[in-house]
Amino acid sequence: MASSVISEFSRIPTSRQSEFWNVPKIQHLRRLAETGSAVRLWTPLEELTRRPLDRVRFTGVGYDGKGGDLSGYAYSNANSAVDLAYGRISLTSPLYLGDMSYGALSGVANIAIARAADVTGVIAGTGEGGLHPDVAKCKRITVQWASARFGVDLKVLNTGMAIVLKIGQGAKPGMGGHLPGTKVTEPISLTRRIPVGRDAISPAPHHDIYSIEDLGQRIWALKEATGKPVFVKIGVTNYVSYIASGVARMGGDGIILDASGAGTGAAPSVVKDNVGLPIEIAVAAVDRALRIENLREGFSVIAAGRVSNAEDAAKLMALGADCASIGTACLICMGCLMVHKCHMGFCPTLLTNKTERDPKRLLSPEKATEWMVNLIRGWTEEFRLILDRLDLKTSKDLVGRKDLLQGFNLNGETAEILGVKAGNPRGSPTPLLDAESAFWTDELKQRLQEMAGTVGRAPREAVISSMGSVGPPFVDAPTRIADWIVSDGAQVTRPSIDPYREEIETACYLARGKIRLSTPVILGPFREEMPPKLIRALVRTASSMGTILYLEGRPPRELEKYARRIFVPGGIDDPAGGYVIAGDDWKERVHLQAGKRPLYLRLECSESSPTSAVDAALLDLDGVILDEDRDCAGRLELEVATSEVDAALRKVLREGLPLRTNFDVIAMGERVRLSSDVFKLCALGADAVGISTAATLAVGYEKEEDASSLDEEQIKDRLENLILATGREIKLLAGAAGVSSLFTTLVGNRELLRAVDMEPAVRRRLRIKPAGLG
């Protein structure tokens, strides 16, 4: 039966979700695809986000906030051509069409991108997993050498203009590629040389690349085998400038910097939202490092990740890139609607649907190629007009011209990292959304309930999603300080750990080894006024999952057999608890409990927390519980309190050892959200982290009347699912960062963290480095 051919754009659906690729951005790309001509000069205000790149402008060009007036502009005579790889590759425009694999895309899109590169004289990446037969016929492509080597042999490597040695990607640094088994159909199986229906999960590291020197051997092996230029693609993480320097020294022809927010066919949401740095910070850092070391001339820097228009590309080139990579923009110009379901194989616009031999519906290859060719021509015309407005003759004249840029609403530290003038610096504290309705969004509740199995997908697993991140602080509004903190992705400078194939220890030990937690997650704080069946389910879950419950009140009598898994503040003589003391007179009551049970001091997060924690350690308590009480006057944010308490305990020595040794720091608050908060708080200094509102929302309990529709076993099952899924997501973050044991390697390891565009005063209190400064 003949396929139904799609050759027109679908209506853009309305969405309540925040989106980087918003409707105005989609409409602009569609106009380029339809006309092949310039539509505007500058990005209108309605398309701008909170990212630093959108708070940098070219000086003296007459921004009007509406896109710029093109009336009176003739075709530009500026030369947009660029040379890459020490002059071995020439492009008509500084565009690299991003690496998207056959399998992640359904075939027609791969063909259209490759053919458009041939027609327009740019270059197209092909992604991991071999080549579609029609893509292999194209000349202006690169072939990717990734960790799994799917579908790649010497014949494939000799196809095209260059080789891309993929170390990582922006959507999941420190992890390998992931193609769900539902999309591994017969054509994909043949191309990748893997079984039908089985997940294709590439190893996190290359198992023959564990150092810069190993990388150099692989670069030269590929060069000697093919005679082609070799680019190295990395996900942008903490040590990006060191890696770029190493690539240049080891003989690489260029580096593809794939940054946070970059698109993907499938990735764990927790990694996509919390690992990696923005492209503008990476480009500025890499360009600066290469120039200092006299390695910049001829070495190519390609910038990828949320490059949405010609102005973005121009600004990135002014910051130091030679060329911009676009991937999601290509899909949008071929009809993508940003429904974020690529990994499921049911794409409404047929770009990422399952690849079948005889599909019922098919995207028109001719129309898709036409759209792609027009996109490149229209984009290039807009870029040339920008060069005209900047009074520059060639693309090369723009590279590294940071003096043409000025920031606005940037703090001075971020402006310094970018190498631009701050302009109207942001001097107010980092703003946070505080209202409950803004904090616990529908999207956040949905994700928690997916982890618990309350709705949708198979529970107990990490949430998988596709396309770029829509998380805070640059798309969704930030609600915690943690939203400005990103974790590291281990690449080259140290190996990542594959969470799918290698063991990562998540257990932690409290009270000098008396209490073992299966993951650094505790349930709490909860109040005794909650429905009895919910309290019973919480207590039983704490017991079955190897964690503890922090309950503000006396547990029911029938649950006293679980007393060792319950922390109760106050009643020292209470047989069901007595683990926690609080109040101004706590020092006078310590001796009543000494030696009987593990004893903790509960502290509201405040400026006095570090001093009180030191006092508690000197009096031989087992630890402190930092409670982010939202009603406490003068409270500190939990992130700040955790870091300052940990640092204070490490400074004071007793018998030659820091007080922090064998003394626990537990952080908890009603607004601890997801596994990423737990991971970051542990890296800031917590041994374990409490979740409460997140747990009740996950099981479907939001208000009192919800209790009637839930039974105790159902609540317990969902809580167990949530803890298991949280543990798995923490393992993903740990593996990406190269952490094999949370208890011995993660706690207090702030070097794994970077602050992105955070207010410097807050960052200094957290004791973490700013992104882009090593």
pLDDT, one tens digit per residue, over 59-76 is 988 887 777 767 666 667
Largest CA distance in the chain: 86
pLDDT attached to residue 7? 84
- Lowest model confidence (mean pLDDT) among 284-293, 442-451, 457-466, 764-773: 457-466
pTM above 0.75, yes or no: yes
Backbone angles phi, psi at 267, to 5 degrees: -160, 150
What per-residue confidence (pLDDT) applies to 577? 45
CB count in 10 Å sphere of residue 431: 12
Confidence label for 573 from pLDDT (cuts 50, 70 and 90): very low
List, in sequence order, every residue forming a beta bridge with 89; answer none if it has no partner.
Answer: 84
Instruction: Provide the pLDDT for residue 707.
Output: 83
Structure tokens of 471? Answer: 């998380």
Fold matches, 4-401 and 508-770 = yes
Work out the average pLDDT over 580-588: 74
pLDDT at 592: 59
3-state secondary structure (DSSP) of residue 581: strand
The DSSP call for residue 166 is E
Q: How confident is the model at residue 439 (pLDDT cuts 50, 70, 90)?
A: confident
- Across the range 452-465, mean pLDDT stands at 79
Does residue 273 contact residue 524 with C-beta atoms inside 8 Å? no
- Neighbouring CB atoms inside 10 A of 34's CB total 16
Query: Domain boundaries in the chain?
Result: 4-401, 508-770
Q: Which three-class secondary structure state does DSSP give residue 479?
A: coil
pLDDT in tens, 128-187: 988 999 999 999 999 999 998 998 999 999 999 999 999 999 999 999 888 888 889 998
How does residue 431 score in pLDDT terms, banded at 50, 70 and 90? low
Band (pLDDT 50/70/90 cuts) for residue 5 is confident
Nearest Cα residue to 278 out of 145, 98, 471: 471
**For 94-162, what is the HEC assignment?**
CEEECCCCECCECCHHHHHHHHHHHHHCCEECCCCCCCCHHHHCCCCEEEEECCCCCCCCHHHHCCCCE
What CA–CA distance (Å, rounded) separates 237 from 276? 5
Q: How far is CA 735 from the centre of its chain?
A: 14
Distance CA 567, CA 666 (A): 12
14 φ/ψ sector (left φ>0, alpha ψ -120 to 50, else beta): beta
Q: Is 53 helix (H, G, I), strand (E, B) or coil?
A: helix
Is residue 572 pLDDT above 60, yes or no? Answer: no
Section 723-751 average pLDDT: 95
Mean pLDDT of 243-247: 97
Query: Which residue type sits at 529?
Result: E
pLDDT given for residue 156 in this prediction: 94
**pLDDT at residue 60, rounded to an integer:** 86
Residues 524 and 668: beta-carbon distance below 8 Å: yes
In angstroms, the CA 36 to CA 26 distance is 15
Query: Do residues 3 and 361 lie in contact, with contact meaning Cβ atoms separated by under 8 Å?
Result: yes
CATH number for the domain formed by residue range(s) 508-770: 3.20.20.70
| CATH code, residues 4-401 | 3.20.20.70
Question: Which residue did the predictor score with more confidence, 53 or 631?
Answer: 53
Structure confidence at residue 594 (pLDDT): 58
Nearest 5 degrees, angle CA 217-CA 151-CA 195? Answer: 130
Confidence check: pLDDT of 599 > 50? yes
